[in-house]
Amino acid sequence: SQQGEEDPQALSIQEGENATMNCSYKTSINNLQWYRQNSGRGLVHLILIRSNEREKHSGRLRVTLDTSKKSSSLLITASRAADTASYFCATDDDGNKLVFGAGTILRVKS
Amino acid sequence: NAGVTQTPKFQVLKTGQSMTLQCAQDMNHEYMSWYRQDPGMGLRLIHYSVGAGITDQGEVPNGYNVSRSTTEDFPLRLLSAAPSQTSVYFCASRPTGTYEQYFGPGTRLTVT
């Protein structure tokens, strides 16, 4: 499968700092999405970037995509304790089969 | 809207038992899917459906059956549960023409 891989596996930062998570994938994609999962909950969609886009912003989120390196990064600026969660990238080549990475566990200390 | 709902929240089965995990959505989404999430791993696609009467396999379909008789419901059946099916199961849906998926709260299944 073209599973994405996140790096780092876990990240611990202080409130107010920026958090950067990276995702690599294996084959060509239509788009790449980032989801957040709070402990014991379902996933929540954060942002989608299409294969012909290089950067996208949404509030405190910034996503970049480098299709030549098959990689993406998610930057959360000015982190808050409420940002503590697991973050997953997911790739999609036909719209029907979303493939998830193993996730990055982010802990924001207040 | 209630969004995507799943029942039950928790279930314990003995090896060989059968059960159905329920998933329903009230957003009139054509696409629905089932994933399983194991510790330390991302979600893996089990089955999906692009509309009533149409289903297809995902990455890990063995041991699971699905059917889609209505737009709203997409149940997942375990015919003979095995310990390897111990996992958290998530149902998701999305509208046609978009890629963002809406997830249910999950069902935690333990098979002993």
Indicate the average pLDDT of chain A.
93
Residue B85 φ then ψ, to 5°: -95, 5
pLDDT band per the 50, 70, 90 thresholds, residue A4: low
**A43 to chain B: nearest residue by CA?**
B103
* CB within 8 Å: B106 and A3: no
Rounded CA separation A75/B68 (Å): 39
Q: Which amino acid is at B2?
A: A
> What pLDDT does residue A107 have?
98
Cβ A110 vs Cβ A81: under 8 Å: yes
* CB within 8 Å: A42 and B103: yes
Rounded CA separation A32/A21 (Å): 14
| Contacts B58 to A, Cβ<8 Å | 97
Rounded CA separation B1/A31 (Å): 28
Indicate the average pLDDT of chain B.
96
**A98 to chain B: nearest residue by CA?**
B45
A80–B contact, CB cutoff 8 A: no
Rounded CA separation B82/A20 (Å): 39
* CB within 8 Å: B43 and A4: no
* CB within 8 Å: B100 and A48: yes
Kindly provide the residue ranges of all beta strands, DSSP E only, lying in A5-102, ordered along the sequence.
5-7, 10-14, 19-24, 31-37, 43-50, 55-58, 61-66, 71-76, 85-92, 99-100
| Contacts B7 to A, Cβ<8 Å | none
The answer to whether residue A25 scores a pLDDT higher than 90 is yes
> How does pLDDT run across B75-87, given as a tens digit for each residue?
999 999 999 999 9
Rounded CA separation B90/B78 (Å): 14
* CB within 8 Å: B106 and A98: no
> How does pLDDT run across B14-46, given as a tens digit for each residue?
999 999 999 999 999 999 999 999 987 889 999
pLDDT band per the 50, 70, 90 thresholds, residue A3: low
